[in-house]
Amino acid sequence: MPRRQADQYSNLKSTSMEAVDRNAEDYELREALLATEEQDRSTKPRGQEDLLPAEGRTGDVLAMNLALFGAAFFTIVTWVIVLVNNPVANNWGWFAFHPPLQSLSLALLIYGILTLQPTSQPKTKAAGLVRHQYAILLMAFPIMFLGTFAVMLNKYLHGAVHFKTWHAKFGILCMGWMFVQVVLGGGSVWFGGAAFGGGYKAKAVWKYHRLSGYVLFALLMFTAHIGGAWSNWGMKYSPWILRVLAYGVSLAACAAGVYIRLRHRR
């Protein structure tokens, strides 16, 4: 019996050692295969998107935050001025809708510009263009139109003279310019730019649309500045320090943030 048990023990030990050897061989084989796969991945040619240059530059995020903060502060202050001064009791009429709507439209416009900057790669550019159109075409432009209509209706109902101040003159100019921008921008990208002949012709129109948009943006910032900081409404219903911060510093921050992120070649 002892000898038989010894033989059984010896057989079990031999079997265990063989299993250990097989496991060790399997482990080494797996390690070798993993190393080969890792080497293949490292030597495999990168995709086209990996070879594209990075979109962001140093300072882009800071500039975006600067513009967004300026837009938010400018918009919030404008709404607070209107609400605190009780436009119903002060008989503002339809004019009460003008400052809130115009400030909101400018904030959306700034977002619409920022979301398309600084996209250059196909996927991010396409996604940015969709957000750009949602923000400007579906929100900023209609809201700005309503704000302009409100002040014009108020003047009409009170028999007041239209386009008397520089703010009013620049404002109606910006409104018409915005309409042209929508036509040029949409026509150059919708249905492959078929409205302008497609291809390089549509792309050329888009470049003019882009350049025109940045010029228009500067005019919009200036129009908002003189409307909030120097108009009778602004000087009557808000303290000078608030006007300096909301319609001076904040709008300057918006302009700085947008133009810092501007790419000169697209």
pLDDT at 53 over 90: no
Confidence at residue 121, expressed as pLDDT on a 0 to 100 scale? 80
Task: Give 107-152 as a 3 state SS string.
Answer: HHHHHHHHCCCCCCCHHHHHHHHHHHHHHHHHHHHHHHHHHHHHHH
Place 20 in a pLDDT band, splitting at 50, 70 and 90: very low
What integer is the mean pLDDT of 192-197? 93
* Nearest by Cα to 216 from 96, 112, 69, 70: 112
How many CA atoms are closer than 13 Å to the CA of 89, on its beta-carbon side?
Answer: 5
Out of 54-63, 155-164, 243-252, least confident range? 54-63
| DSSP tag of 194 | G
pLDDT at 35 over 60: no
Report the 10 Å Cβ neighbour count for 52. 13
Residue 225 CA: distances (Å) to CA of 204, 218, 228, 243: 32, 11, 5, 9
Cα 256 to Cα 258: distance, rounded to the nearest angstrom: 6
Residue 251's contacts (CB-CB under 8 Å, 6 or more residues apart) are: 70, 74, 221, 224, 225
Q: Which long-range contacts (CB under 8 A, 24 or more apart) does 160-166 make?
A: 165/231, 166/226
Return the top range by mean pLDDT from 22-36, 122-136, 138-152. Answer: 138-152
pLDDT at 31 over 70: no
Confidence at residue 266, expressed as pLDDT on a 0 to 100 scale? 52
Task: Please write the tens of the pLDDT for every residue from 138-147.
Answer: 999 999 999 9
Cα 126 to Cα 132: distance, rounded to the nearest angstrom: 10
Report yes or no on whether pTM surpasses 0.85. no
Which is higher by pLDDT, 24 or 131? 131
Cα 255 to Cα 249: distance, rounded to the nearest angstrom: 10
pLDDT at 229 over 70: yes
